Chains A and B, each alone.
Chain A
């Protein structure tokens, strides 16, 4: 049995471990309260996971090239606030509203990319700065008190089901699978890993480093804005603070899923499982009547616990080398 387990590649092993943990937690939840192990509860958990997971797509890419994207939070807010304002509850506004918002997300991402690659500003600060600018734009455009509603079509995407699976989960599944395949089988995907592993070497071997980096941040901006729009469909009304928790949650999802902070290691499958795990734990603790302070503490402990799992080899060897993750 152990022999078989050892034959599985390392990446798949952590992925299997994560999904085993998710199943176990579902079972534990079911034991404590009968309602927990149900399709509707599962759907709710996966729906909130789909929001974090879609933001984590761009975040995973950014972390894989050794960067980070803190502007995803403001962009989610922008998608939600601009979405409701521009749609004003009418289906005929769908096309232009959604394309304008996605264009803004794309532009913000390209700006991030240019700042990081061409100007050489550190990704954390660059995305922090564009994030501040986007927050300003959201507040100015909505005067701090957003109005409007999502259109019926967007509502259907946000709250509707297909074959009793939430629509947003299906969108996430499609986009996430595409991203995994792109990372694995395209030149772009391999470029992302090369840049994360060693940027200088990647440049010398002829990769268009600046282009790939800009494309990564552009994709991140795009997915964050898209998530904001879908969240607007889910909540129907807009919140300026809709995206507040997403930067840290998407980073946590990627890190829990085994994406190394220094870049070059990990994949989107892990980050997706990480997003589900985060939402599952949150829901489990809420179900057990744990209050917010306790949930926050547990959240932190889970990250530490999973880190000991990912770094177990180096913990075991007791080496004091600089952390590479």
Chain B
């Protein structure tokens, strides 16, 4: 299969589902296609997309980051307890400090994973517990205060375009360019595809892993900062759902947990599915508890369809002539 064909096959299921759900929603409820509803959706989906990007870059190397949630929490409580004074410099403080805190936490993960032979799963399991402790130490309960300038980020507009939409597109574009247009990006894929081969071809795995986990921390920090602006407060447990959701988003978006396969374009679709389901159930007035079942079923369906050798596994594929 050509590279383009493979890409298409990877991202097709997720966007087919998104499109189907979107059209179904518009058909069921007239208010779905309104601009306001969609602006609302951009605002909700942005932190999940950022978390999904954080997870995707790590998953591409064949690793996993279970500390994404705790890093988001730390960034969010940090953003809510910064010493804001009444100047526009507040915005700079809010934009810089939480993401840098996230970057630092990610760098610690990266150092441990690069320097020690421990599996990423365990290192990030341990560090997620440690970072959660730090978040709880900074703020025991949801609270604190975020500068009013920063809260405009989640609700404001530039030339009529909602800022969350811009932020989301900028983050996705940056991650896409990094992965597909740079040497570093190619070395991530190489490492995830076959570590031994990557080492033999001159890639230093430790360095790539360090940068990848740092990047994951940076994206998580951005997500945490954004969440604090969206909620007007910090929440030490607010990041928790993002651990599993980010993995689900990355995987629905076509990235393989084995590494080396997947990428950024699917992340938007993966994150959208999550919130579209919520949104539809709300608009239709269905018990929101059904969203869990819908999410689970869609996750299984999307993965079963995109599994590379599904037909062979089920014994349905006809013998192909070489």
Contacts and interface: CB of A to CB of B under 8 A. Distances in A.
Interface of A: 70, 115, 118-122, 124-126, 128-133, 135-137, 139-140, 144, 248, 251-252, 255, 261-262, 292-301, 303-304, 307-308, 311, 314-315, 319-325
A137 B293 contact: yes
A208 to B, nearest CB: 15
Contact of B307 (A121, A139, A140): A121
Nearest to A126: B300
Interface in B268-305: 287, 289-297, 299-300, 303-304
Contact of A122 (B112, B251, B295): B251
Given A70-B244, A121-B304, A303-B129, A133 B122 contact: no
Prevailing SS type, chain A contact patch: helix
Contacts of A125: 247-248, 251, 257, 299, 303
Contacts of B297: 129, 133
Contacts of A121: 300, 303-304, 307
15 contacts: A70-B244, A118-B314, A119-B303, A120-B307, A121-B307, A294-B137, A295-B133, A299-B126, A300-B125, A304-B123, A304-B126, A307-B118, A311-B116, A315-B116, A322-B205
Given A319-B117, A320-B206, A297 B129 contact: yes
Given A120-B310, A125-B251, A133-B297, A262 B244 contact: no
B299 A320 contact: no
B309 A120 contact: yes
B128 A300 contact: yes
A122 B290 contact: no
Contacts of A118: 313-314
Given A119-B310, A132-B299, A124 B257 contact: yes
Nearest to A144: B289
Contact of A248 (B125, B133, B251, B314): B125
A261 B205 CA distance: 20
A294 B134 CA distance: 8
Nearest to B287: A140
B68 to A, nearest CB: 14
B195 interface: yes
A294 B310 CA distance: 47
A322 B195 contact: yes
Given A300-B127, A303-B129, A323 B292 contact: no
A81 to B, nearest CB: 12
Most central of B127, B129, B130, B132 by chain A CB within 10 Å:
B129
A325 B307 contact: no
B308 to A, nearest CB: 8
Contacts of A325: 117-119, 122
Given A70-B244, A115-B300, A120-B307, A293 B206 contact: no
Contacts, number: 157
A314 B118 CA distance: 10
A119 B307 contact: yes
A122 B257 contact: yes
A308 to B, nearest CB: 8
A139 B292 contact: yes
Most central of B116, B122, B294 by chain A CB within 10 Å:
B122
B88 to A, nearest CB: 33
Contacts of B104: none
Nearest to A247: B244
Nearest to A311: B117
A70 B244 CA distance: 10
Most central of A128, A261, A293, A300 by chain B CB within 10 Å:
A300
A119 B316 CA distance: 12
Contacts of B313: 118-120
Contact of A139 (B129, B136, B195, B289): B289
Given A118-B314, A296-B136, A307-B122, A133 B296 contact: yes
Interface string B227-246: 00000000000000000100
B129 A133 contact: no
Given A119-B307, A128-B299, A311-B116, 4 more contacts: A120-B313, A133-B296, A297-B130, A322-B195
